[in-house]
Amino acid sequence: MAYRETEKMRLRKAETRQRILDCALQLVMEGGFRNAQVSQVARRAEIATGTIYRHFTAKEELFAEVFRTATRREVTKVGESLAEAGSVIERLEQALRQFAARALNRPMMAWALIAEPVDPKVEAERLTYRKAYAELFEQAIREGMNEGCLPPQDAVCSSTCLVGALAESLVGPLSPVQGSTDETSHTSNTETLVNGIVRFCLQGLTGTGR
Protein backbone atom coordinates (compact mmCIF):
# COMPACT_ATOMS: atom_id res chain seq x y z
CA MET A 1 0.00 0.00 0.00
CA ALA A 2 1.13 3.54 -0.53
CA TYR A 3 -1.56 6.12 -0.21
CA ARG A 4 -4.08 6.66 2.52
CA GLU A 5 -6.29 9.68 2.76
CA THR A 6 -4.83 11.94 5.39
CA GLU A 7 -6.42 14.59 7.55
CA LYS A 8 -4.76 17.36 5.60
CA MET A 9 -6.18 16.05 2.36
CA ARG A 10 -9.62 15.62 3.81
CA LEU A 11 -9.47 19.24 4.82
CA ARG A 12 -8.27 20.47 1.47
CA LYS A 13 -11.06 18.57 -0.23
CA ALA A 14 -13.62 20.05 2.09
CA GLU A 15 -12.26 23.49 1.30
CA THR A 16 -12.55 22.95 -2.43
CA ARG A 17 -16.05 21.67 -2.03
CA GLN A 18 -16.93 24.72 -0.03
CA ARG A 19 -15.32 26.99 -2.58
CA ILE A 20 -17.43 25.42 -5.30
CA LEU A 21 -20.55 26.06 -3.26
CA ASP A 22 -19.51 29.62 -2.54
CA CYS A 23 -18.76 30.39 -6.15
CA ALA A 24 -22.00 28.83 -7.31
CA LEU A 25 -23.87 30.96 -4.81
CA GLN A 26 -22.06 34.07 -6.00
CA LEU A 27 -23.08 33.34 -9.56
CA VAL A 28 -26.68 32.85 -8.55
CA MET A 29 -26.65 36.12 -6.66
CA GLU A 30 -25.29 37.85 -9.70
CA GLY A 31 -27.47 36.41 -12.39
CA GLY A 32 -29.83 33.79 -11.05
CA PHE A 33 -29.64 30.06 -11.62
CA ARG A 34 -29.97 30.51 -15.33
CA ASN A 35 -26.58 32.13 -15.60
CA ALA A 36 -24.81 29.70 -13.35
CA GLN A 37 -23.37 26.98 -15.57
CA VAL A 38 -21.08 24.30 -14.30
CA SER A 39 -18.24 25.63 -16.42
CA GLN A 40 -18.70 29.10 -14.97
CA VAL A 41 -18.62 27.78 -11.46
CA ALA A 42 -15.41 25.94 -12.28
CA ARG A 43 -13.81 29.02 -13.77
CA ARG A 44 -14.79 31.11 -10.78
CA ALA A 45 -13.43 28.52 -8.39
CA GLU A 46 -10.25 28.19 -10.47
CA ILE A 47 -10.59 24.49 -10.97
CA ALA A 48 -11.38 22.28 -13.94
CA THR A 49 -14.95 21.54 -14.88
CA GLY A 50 -14.42 17.89 -14.21
CA THR A 51 -13.35 18.52 -10.65
CA ILE A 52 -16.81 19.64 -9.76
CA TYR A 53 -17.98 16.12 -10.48
CA ARG A 54 -15.61 14.76 -7.87
CA HIS A 55 -17.56 16.70 -5.30
CA PHE A 56 -21.09 16.56 -6.67
CA THR A 57 -22.69 13.80 -8.65
CA ALA A 58 -24.63 16.20 -10.86
CA LYS A 59 -25.32 19.83 -11.44
CA GLU A 60 -28.74 19.62 -9.88
CA GLU A 61 -27.16 18.15 -6.78
CA LEU A 62 -24.80 21.08 -6.47
CA PHE A 63 -27.45 23.70 -6.97
CA ALA A 64 -29.92 21.99 -4.74
CA GLU A 65 -27.33 22.33 -2.00
CA VAL A 66 -26.70 25.95 -2.92
CA PHE A 67 -30.38 26.61 -2.68
CA ARG A 68 -30.65 24.83 0.62
CA THR A 69 -27.84 26.83 2.15
CA ALA A 70 -29.08 30.18 0.96
CA THR A 71 -32.49 29.29 2.16
CA ARG A 72 -31.47 28.13 5.56
CA ARG A 73 -29.98 31.52 6.21
CA GLU A 74 -33.21 33.27 5.33
CA VAL A 75 -35.42 30.92 7.24
CA THR A 76 -33.19 31.29 10.27
CA LYS A 77 -33.55 35.05 10.17
CA VAL A 78 -37.30 34.85 10.09
CA GLY A 79 -37.18 32.26 12.83
CA GLU A 80 -35.15 34.64 14.97
CA SER A 81 -37.67 37.41 14.47
CA LEU A 82 -40.39 35.09 15.63
CA ALA A 83 -38.39 34.06 18.68
CA GLU A 84 -37.82 37.54 20.05
CA ALA A 85 -39.71 39.12 22.88
CA GLY A 86 -43.12 40.68 22.39
CA SER A 87 -46.64 39.63 21.63
CA VAL A 88 -47.25 37.04 18.96
CA ILE A 89 -48.70 39.68 16.71
CA GLU A 90 -45.74 41.99 17.11
CA ARG A 91 -43.38 39.14 16.38
CA LEU A 92 -45.30 38.05 13.33
CA GLU A 93 -45.21 41.59 12.02
CA GLN A 94 -41.50 41.74 12.68
CA ALA A 95 -40.97 38.49 10.81
CA LEU A 96 -42.93 39.66 7.79
CA ARG A 97 -40.94 42.85 7.66
CA GLN A 98 -37.71 40.96 8.05
CA PHE A 99 -38.57 38.69 5.16
CA ALA A 100 -39.52 41.56 2.89
CA ALA A 101 -36.59 43.74 3.86
CA ARG A 102 -34.03 41.04 3.22
CA ALA A 103 -35.62 40.20 -0.11
CA LEU A 104 -35.64 43.79 -1.26
CA ASN A 105 -32.02 44.20 -0.24
CA ARG A 106 -30.81 41.32 -2.42
CA PRO A 107 -33.32 41.38 -5.23
CA MET A 108 -31.55 38.95 -7.52
CA MET A 109 -31.01 36.42 -4.79
CA ALA A 110 -34.57 36.75 -3.58
CA TRP A 111 -35.95 36.42 -7.07
CA ALA A 112 -33.85 33.33 -7.66
CA LEU A 113 -35.10 31.75 -4.45
CA ILE A 114 -38.71 32.81 -4.76
CA ALA A 115 -39.66 32.90 -8.38
CA GLU A 116 -36.99 32.03 -10.91
CA PRO A 117 -37.77 29.00 -13.04
CA VAL A 118 -35.36 26.24 -12.00
CA ASP A 119 -34.73 22.55 -12.60
CA PRO A 120 -36.98 20.02 -10.94
CA LYS A 121 -34.52 19.04 -8.21
CA VAL A 122 -34.04 22.65 -7.25
CA GLU A 123 -37.74 23.32 -7.49
CA ALA A 124 -38.22 20.53 -5.00
CA GLU A 125 -35.94 22.39 -2.62
CA ARG A 126 -38.01 25.46 -3.16
CA LEU A 127 -41.13 23.68 -2.03
CA THR A 128 -39.31 22.52 1.07
CA TYR A 129 -38.14 26.01 1.74
CA ARG A 130 -41.53 27.56 1.41
CA LYS A 131 -42.84 24.91 3.70
CA ALA A 132 -40.15 25.75 6.21
CA TYR A 133 -41.30 29.35 6.28
CA ALA A 134 -44.88 28.29 6.49
CA GLU A 135 -44.11 26.03 9.42
CA LEU A 136 -42.46 28.82 11.34
CA PHE A 137 -45.46 31.01 10.83
CA GLU A 138 -47.74 28.14 11.60
CA GLN A 139 -46.18 27.60 14.97
CA ALA A 140 -46.49 31.26 15.82
CA ILE A 141 -50.12 31.20 14.79
CA ARG A 142 -50.80 28.24 17.04
CA GLU A 143 -49.15 30.07 19.88
CA GLY A 144 -51.33 33.05 19.16
CA MET A 145 -54.45 30.93 19.23
CA ASN A 146 -53.45 29.40 22.54
CA GLU A 147 -52.80 32.81 24.02
CA GLY A 148 -56.13 33.93 22.66
CA CYS A 149 -54.75 36.85 20.67
CA LEU A 150 -55.61 35.08 17.42
CA PRO A 151 -59.04 33.66 16.68
CA PRO A 152 -59.37 29.94 15.99
CA GLN A 153 -58.27 29.10 12.44
CA ASP A 154 -56.55 26.53 10.28
CA ALA A 155 -52.95 27.40 11.08
CA VAL A 156 -51.55 25.50 8.11
CA CYS A 157 -53.79 27.29 5.70
CA SER A 158 -53.19 30.71 7.20
CA SER A 159 -49.45 30.30 7.21
CA THR A 160 -49.49 29.19 3.59
CA CYS A 161 -51.50 32.25 2.70
CA LEU A 162 -48.98 34.43 4.49
CA VAL A 163 -46.11 33.01 2.50
CA GLY A 164 -48.05 33.34 -0.72
CA ALA A 165 -49.11 36.91 -0.15
CA LEU A 166 -45.60 37.85 0.77
CA ALA A 167 -43.99 36.10 -2.16
CA GLU A 168 -46.45 37.38 -4.72
CA SER A 169 -46.19 40.93 -3.51
CA LEU A 170 -42.45 40.78 -3.82
CA VAL A 171 -42.27 39.06 -7.20
CA GLY A 172 -43.28 42.21 -9.05
CA PRO A 173 -40.72 44.48 -7.43
CA LEU A 174 -38.05 41.79 -7.60
CA SER A 175 -38.52 40.61 -11.16
CA PRO A 176 -35.38 41.41 -13.09
CA VAL A 177 -37.17 43.09 -15.98
CA GLN A 178 -34.83 42.95 -18.98
CA GLY A 179 -32.15 45.57 -18.82
CA SER A 180 -33.14 47.73 -15.93
CA THR A 181 -30.91 47.87 -12.92
CA ASP A 182 -32.97 50.89 -12.10
CA GLU A 183 -32.74 51.84 -8.45
CA THR A 184 -35.04 54.83 -8.33
CA SER A 185 -38.29 53.29 -9.50
CA HIS A 186 -38.90 51.04 -6.50
CA THR A 187 -37.03 52.72 -3.70
CA SER A 188 -39.73 55.18 -2.78
CA ASN A 189 -42.72 52.84 -2.52
CA THR A 190 -40.93 50.07 -0.70
CA GLU A 191 -42.14 51.25 2.67
CA THR A 192 -45.71 51.59 1.44
CA LEU A 193 -45.60 48.16 -0.12
CA VAL A 194 -44.38 46.47 3.01
CA ASN A 195 -46.97 48.27 5.13
CA GLY A 196 -49.70 47.12 2.80
CA ILE A 197 -48.57 43.51 2.96
CA VAL A 198 -48.30 43.58 6.71
CA ARG A 199 -51.73 45.10 7.09
CA PHE A 200 -53.37 42.54 4.84
CA CYS A 201 -51.62 39.62 6.47
CA LEU A 202 -52.27 40.64 10.05
CA GLN A 203 -55.88 41.31 9.28
CA GLY A 204 -56.12 37.97 7.57
CA LEU A 205 -54.88 36.40 10.78
CA THR A 206 -56.64 38.48 13.38
CA GLY A 207 -59.80 39.53 11.61
CA THR A 208 -59.25 42.93 13.16
CA GLY A 209 -58.52 46.23 11.45
CA ARG A 210 -56.22 48.83 12.97
Partner DNA sequence: ACAAGGAATGAATAATGATTCACTTTTATG
Partner DNA sequence: CATAAAAGTGAATCATTATTCATTCCTTGT
Of 47 and 149, CB closest to a second copy: 149
Interface residue with DNA, options 14, 18, 37, 72 (CB under 7 A): 37
Interface residue with DNA, options 18, 54, 90, 195 (CB under 7 A): 54
Interface residue with a second copy, options 123, 135, 143, 149 (CB under 8 A): 123
Q: Look at residue 76 and give the partner it binds from a second copy, DNA, none, a contact being a CB closer than 5 to 8 Å depending on partner kind.
A: none
* Binding mask of the shown chain, residues 168 to 187, with x at each position contacting a second copy by CB under 8 A: xx-xx--x------------
Q: Which of residues 130-159 bind a second copy (CB under 8 A)?
A: 130, 151, 153-154, 156-158
Question: How far is the CA of 181 from the CAs of 22, 107, 164, 177, 184, in angstroms?
Answer: 24, 10, 26, 8, 9
Q: How far is the CB of 13 from DNA (least distance, A)?
A: 6
Sign of the four-CA dihedral 96, 98, 103, 109: negative
Who's near 14: CB < 8 A, 6+ residues apart? Answer: none
Of 59 and 130, CB closest to a second copy: 130
Interface residue with DNA, options 12, 72, 73, 199 (CB under 7 A): 12
Of 118 and 202, CB closest to DNA: 118
Interface residue with DNA, options 22, 26, 44, 53 (CB under 7 A): 53
Interface residue with a second copy, options 12, 72, 90, 164 (CB under 8 A): 164
DSSP per-residue codes, 36-85: --HHHHHHHHTS-HHHHHHH-SSHHHHHHHHHHHHHHHHHHHHHHHHHSS
Burial degree of 185 (CB within 10 A; 0-12, 13-18, 19+) = exposed
Question: How far is the CA of 62 from the CAs of 55, 101, 126, 140, in angstroms?
Answer: 9, 28, 14, 33
- HSE on the CB side for 207, CA within 13 Å? 8
| Residues at the site binding a second copy, with contacts judged by CB under 8 A | 117-119, 123, 127, 130, 151, 153-154, 156-158, 160-169, 171-172, 175, 192-193, 196-197, 199-201, 203-210
